[in-house]
Amino acid sequence: MKNPNLVAAFIFSFLASAAFAEIKDFKIAGDSRSLILFEKFGFTSDGAANIAVAEATLSSSVSSADPSLFGFFLHSSSNLLQTLIADDQPQNPNPSPCILSSPYIRLLFTFRDLSPPPFNSYNRTFPIALADDYNLFFANCVPESEVSMSVRTVLYNAQPDGSRDYLPIGEAPVPTVCFLFSLIYVAFLVIWIHFGLIANRSSAHRIHYLMAGLLVAKILNLVFKAEDQHYVRITGTPHGWDVLFYLFQFIKGVLLFTVIVLIGTGWSFLKPFLHGREKKVLMLVIPLQVVTNIASIVIGETGPFIQDWAAWVQIFLLVDVVCCCAILFPIVWSIRSLRETSKSDGKAAKNLSKLVLFRRFYLVVIGYLYFTRVVVFALKTILSYKNKWMSLAVEEGVTLAFYILMFYLFRPKVKNPYLALDDEEEAAAMAVLKEDDFDI
């Protein structure tokens, strides 16, 4: 490849999410990158992009850098392959061609179009006639040069009634999806409180009340996300709803991983306290969730225009993987502990039931983590830009199924199989346990 930076930038834009598209203000100071990705947005044929630049300055080792080699352009995701092939053509005599001259982009303006000093500004709205998924880039084709400027972007699709939709076409249904799932969780919470905590009050443990708190946090997280995206859609800004969304996203994340760890240890329904290593896992998971949510906020509220954005994405993915692995250890420890104690305490049938329960829970957690981390990412990559909301719907659907299974397996119930079993099953249970089918 003649221009590896170009290839890396386009591949990165292809994998990037459009979640950061709205009215945005950027401040670039002394940036020497050859390509800066500002936004990713799915336009309809009635879309428009308003770009305003102010206080633009250049600092270059070249005495008189050509201002036409600095500029903004739109690149369609459908032209990604053609752009990469054109960059690799051996007959191209220019070893480092400027992307601004490529026939596969839509050049918006260059620094030659800026108003004269001291303003060095530009403001124009560009109509989008061809519907597609576009990336807004700034290109710096002069090596060893730095750019400083203030940029304001307003990307939107015009509605038939003349109003503006500031969400990408593929993200427009997101507020509705979040609100509908919040209603489902409200019904879930009512059922859990009535049939779990009230009807079976005598067998309800502290973990069951904590699970109710998890549902409350999940409901509020979805409601505030719906409000956040709704206001972004109609006004271009979240009006403060993003603060509440991130707050309850953090609370929900901490509670979810805490509940999984505590259930995996059997806390409150099998034993009243945690052992030392189980406390260490919990004390590891909670700070990691703090780091994960900080990274999530940086990723969502800044965008790929900042130089460390890719590093924050890597931090988020790494810490999330560590959290997912950490929450599995208590479940494995519980399974092995039950496997060992069943050989000596004379309660093979009861231990067999517990082993079956924890093994199912282990598989459910593995399935949930796989679908929400791997399958959902694959969907985001392969779905058309018009249907990006479907990946969120699938993710929330899988999450809801996980919640239902987890709450059902560990519901309060006087005659729950893992709390009481007939001793007449001891012989058969011991025979099953001897087969070593419950090793993880």
Show the CA angle centred on residue 292, arms to residues 289 and 295, nearest 5°. Answer: 150
Average pLDDT for 244-254: 95
Structural contact between residues 268 and 206, judged by C-beta atoms closer than 8 angstroms: yes
Parallel, antiparallel, or unpaired for β 122-128 and 47-60?
antiparallel
Q: What is the pLDDT of residue 419?
A: 44
For residue 293, which of 247, 255, 326, 257 has the smallest C-alpha distance?
Answer: 247
Asked whether residue 418 carries a pLDDT value surpassing 50, the answer given is: no
Cα 360 to Cα 306: distance, rounded to the nearest angstrom: 44
Concatenated DSSP letters for 10-77?
A: HHHHHHS-STT-SSEEEEEEEE--SEEEEEEEEE-TTEEEEEEEEEEEEEESSTT--GGGEEEEEEEG
Contacting residues for 127 by C-beta, under 8 A, at least 6 apart: 47, 48
198: burial class by Cβ within 10 Å (0-12, 13-18, 19+)? exposed
- pLDDT, tens only, 75-125: 998 777 666 666 555 555 555 578 898 888 999 999 999 998 777 899 999
Distance CA 154, CA 406 (A): 43
Cβ within 8 Å of residue 64, ≥6 positions away: none
Six-digit token pair at 408? 């059902």
Q: pLDDT at residue 422 above 60?
A: no
Cis peptide before 4 (omega within 30 of 0): no
Between CA 343 and CA 373 the distance in angstroms is 38
Tokens of 180: 């509908």
Q: In the structure, what pLDDT confidence band is assigned to residue 1 with cuts at 50, 70 and 90?
A: very low
pLDDT of residue 124: 96
Distance CA 366, CA 325 (A): 10
The confidence band for 49, taking pLDDT boundaries of 50, 70 and 90, is very high
Question: What pLDDT band is residue 62 in, cutting at 50, 70 and 90?
Answer: confident
Classify 4-165 by CATH class: mainly beta
Q: How far apart are CA 78 and CA 253, in angstroms?
A: 36
Yes or no: domain 174-433 corresponds to CATH 1.20.1070: yes
* Confidence class for position 25, pLDDT limits 50, 70, 90: very high
Are 265 and 330 spatial neighbours (Cβ–Cβ below 8 Å)?
Answer: yes
For residues 219 and 7, the model is more confident at 219
Two domains, one topology: 4-165 and 174-433: no
Structure tokens at 41: 């947005």
**What angle is formed at CA 172 by the lines to CA 169 and CA 175, rounded to 5 degrees?**
165
Taking Cα atoms as reference points, which of 75, 56, 60 lies closest to residue 11? 75
**Could you tell me the residue ranges of all domains in the chain?**
4-165, 174-433
pLDDT surpassing 90 at residue 136: yes
Examine the pLDDT at 342 and tell me if it is beyond 90: no
